[in-house]
């Protein structure tokens, strides 16, 4: 567990630095009359992730976190099983984006995650799987003016209705 904590923090710190560097290809500051530059969100979220990795490393070095004091394995059999189940769900999500749209893939992933992995009831599962993508749609398409992949043509009727609400 001790090795796993510092290795994970190191890998995430390197990823954070790379994402910060890559996001500077676009403006990271505020553009007058337009809002935040295209690289602002990735840059600042990566910077916060890097700070968190630094705090994890500090706690590891001081030995103040429970994982930094443990000789247990990072993942037991249940942990490996869940890693494969969640990782497989994420791979499925990414594969579905170009077929049923970003928002459809979010709905399918949430239904899988909440109902199947979380073992919650159908009411909560369906509510989250339907409300969350619609809320994300209005946030990204309406408020942020960022267009997400809409998938194949058979998803157009749904998006036409939602676009009429925005415009």
Q: Quick one: pLDDT at residue 36?
A: 87
pTM summary value: 0.71
Residue 131 has pLDDT above 90, yes or no: yes
What is the DSSP-derived secondary structure letter of residue 31?
E
Token pair belonging to 71: 């000789």
Q: Where are any strands of DSSP class E within 12-116?
A: 30-31, 35-36
- Per the rule left: phi > 0, alpha: psi between -120 and 50, beta: everything else, 132 is alpha
Give residue-wise pLDDT tens across range 21-47: 999 999 988 888 888 888 999 999 999
Instruction: Give phi and psi for 145, each to the nearest 5.
Output: 60, 40
Kindly list the distances between the CA atom of residue 150 and the CA atoms of 6, 41, 132, in Å, as whole numbers in the listed order: 39, 22, 16
Query: Domain extents for the chain?
Result: 1-72, 75-167
């Amino acid at each position: 567990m001790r090795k796993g904590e510092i290795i994970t923090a190191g890998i995430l710190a390197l990823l954070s630095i790379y994402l910060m560097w890559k996001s500077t290809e676009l403006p990271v500051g505020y553009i007058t009359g337009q809002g935040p530059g295209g690289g602002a969100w990735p840059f600042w979220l990566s910077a916060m992730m890097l700070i968190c990795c630094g705090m994890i490393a500090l706690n590891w070095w001081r030995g103040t976190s429970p994982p930094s004091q443990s000789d247990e394995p990072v993942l037991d059999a249940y942990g490996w099983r869940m890693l494969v189940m969640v990782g497989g769900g994420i791979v499925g999500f990414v594969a579905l984006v170009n077929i049923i749209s970003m928002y459809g893939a979010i709905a399918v992933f949430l239904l899988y995650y909440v109902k199947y992995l979380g073992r919650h009831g159908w009411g909560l599962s369906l509510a989250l799987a339907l409300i969350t993508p619609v809320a994300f749609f209005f946030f990204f398409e309406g408020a942020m003016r960022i267009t997400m992949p809409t998938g194949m043509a058979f998803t157009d009727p749904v998006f036409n209705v939602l676009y009429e609400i925005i415009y």
